[in-house]
Structures are given as structure tokens and as C-alpha cells.
């Protein structure tokens, strides 16, 4: 796939490196040449010095053939403008903007722009790590549901359907040597890792239940 990232801060640079490492074609735009130092010598994509709302710069980056544009500058208004240009003028299939200030989230919603707020994601992950009794947050889904990993520490065999019924959660997958889709009749045993869909409080109850009591 062909990606254009506007803004080579640590967020944009890290994403560019990850995408390039996965074999994608990546172009990074930034108004400061020095910003590209964050990409390091191993980056095999293209870099362009310029302002991301300048259509000549975007055309030079190949926006007309881009599969996705990521607006990751430190200015939310600029990110919204880049997103609008990419979506409405160039019809880029996937456009995502980084939210730098949480106070701007409603503005992104008003403009119907897909966005990611690293601050919110980081705070949520830290909160759940602190208070979810050892469970690992994988993703948030809406306001009330999340996907968690929970390790079974009790030396006892459980049934998936037993856990789902007892706690009102959905056991989606089981990791033993590798991940497998969970089935109600599957056995769960010590050292298994289960992936569950639930609210935080239910995840905490499941984690406590599977904790090592020895």
C-alpha cells in the first residue's frame, strides 16, 4: 500500500518506520528538514520538505495514488485541513488524523474526520494496567467494552462456557502454543491466556478468579 504521512514528529516517524518495515511504500512530509533525522538511516521511504496543506506538495508526494493519508502534525487545525483536502479533493480511500489536544476531539467529530488520540489511548492503557489486576488491555470498543488478555494462574481446568455464563463475558480466543478461536466446550487450563470481550469491572473479576491462590 502507498501511505503519505504529514508530520515527522516522534508519532509520525514511528508510524512511518513501522509501515516501511512491513513493506509498504511510505512518503513523509514535514516543513523542517531536521525532523527527518527521527527516521534514522534505515528508513527506505521518501521524504519531502513542505507544508502538508500545500496541494503542490501533496501532489509531489503522490496523493493521487495514495491508499491512505495520515495527518500527524502538532497542530490540530492543520491536521483537519489536510484530512479534508485528502478526503474531499483527492478521494483518498483512508484518511486518519492525529488529535494533539483532547479539547479538539469534538471539532474532529464535527468535520467527520477519522482520528486517533494517543493521549487517550495511553491514559486508558495505563489506567487499566494499574487497576485491572494484571489483565492486559488490547483495545477499547466504544465506551463500555474492551478487549483484554487474561492469564490463567489457577491449577484447575475450566470450560469456556462456564466462564462466559459466570461472568457475562465473551471468551473470543485462547492462546496456548498459538491463538485459536474459542468454543464453548473448550477446556481452559493453567498458563493459558484468554482474550475476552467485556467491561473493565468484569475483566477484573475474571482476572481475580483466575489468580494464583497458592
pLDDT tens by residue, 120-174: 778 777 776 766 666 788 877 766 888 888 989 888 899 999 999 999 999 999 9
Q: Which conformational region is residue 132 in: left (phi greater than 0), alpha (psi within -120 to 50 degrees), or beta?
A: alpha
pTM: 0.67
Higher pLDDT among residues 124 and 12, named by residue = 12
pLDDT of 165 reads 94
Taking Cα atoms as reference points, which of 174, 171, 169 lies closest to residue 144? 169
Number of Cα atoms under 13 Å in the Cβ half of residue 70: 21
8 pLDDT higher than 80: yes
Q: Are the CB atoms for 102 and 119 separated by under 8 Å?
A: yes
Ranges of CATH 3.40.50.720 domains, the chain: 2-116
- 214 pLDDT band, cuts 50/70/90, is very low
Q: Give me 151's grid cell.
A: 492469564
In the chain, which residues fall in CATH 3.30.70.1450? 121-209
Beta-strand pair 179-181/170-175 = antiparallel
Which superfamily, per CATH, for 2-116? Answer: NAD(P)-binding Rossmann-like Domain (3.40.50.720)
CATH 3.10.20.740 fits 121-209, yes or no: no
Instruction: Give the chain's end-to-end CA distance (angstroms, integer).
Output: 51
Q: Which residue is listed with cell 479534508?
A: 84
Among 13-17, 59-63, 197-201, the range scoring the smallest mean pLDDT is 197-201
Query: For the chain, what percent of residues have pLDDT higher than 70?
Result: 94
Q: What angle do CA 7, 10, 12 make, to 5 degrees?
A: 40
Question: pLDDT-derived band of residue 177, with 50, 70 and 90 as boundaries?
Answer: confident
Amino acid at each position: 500500500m502507498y501511505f503519505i504521512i504529514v508530520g515527522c514528529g516522534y508519532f509520525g516517524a514511528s508510524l512511518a518506520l513501522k509501515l516501511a518495515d512491513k513493506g509498504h511504500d511510505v512518503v513523509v512530509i514535514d516543513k523542517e528538514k531536521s525532523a527527518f533525522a527521527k527516521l534514522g538511516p534505515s528508513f527506505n521511504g521518501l521524504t519531502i520538505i513542505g507544508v502538508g496543506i500545500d496541494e503542490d506538495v501533496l501532489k509531489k508526494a503522490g496523493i493521487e495514488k495514495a491508499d491512505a493519508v495520515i495527518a500527524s502534525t502538532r497542530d490540530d487545525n492543520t491536521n483537519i485541513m489536510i484530512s479534508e483536502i485528502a478526503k474531499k479533493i483527492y478521494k483518498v480511500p483512508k484518511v486518519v488524523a492525529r488529535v494533539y489536544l483532547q479539547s479538539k476531539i469534538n471539532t474532529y467529530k464535527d468535520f467527520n474526520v477519522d482520528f486517533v488520540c494517543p493521549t487517550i489511548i495511553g491514559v486508558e492503557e495505563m489506567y487499566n494496567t494499574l487497576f485491572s489486576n494484571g489483565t492486559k488491555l488490547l483495545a477499547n470498543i466504544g465506551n463500555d467494552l474492551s478487549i483484554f488478555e487474561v492469564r490463567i494462574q489457577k491449577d484447575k481446568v475450566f470450560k469456556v462456557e462456564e466462564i462466559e455464563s459466570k461472568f457475562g463475558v465473551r471468551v473470543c480466543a485462547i492462546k496456548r502454543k498459538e491463538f485459536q478461536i474459542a468454543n464453548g466446550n473448550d477446556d481452559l487450563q493453567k498458563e493459558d491466556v484468554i482474550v475476552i470481550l467485556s467491561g473493565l469491572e468484569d475483566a477484573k473479576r475474571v482476572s481475580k478468579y483466575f489468580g494464583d491462590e497458592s
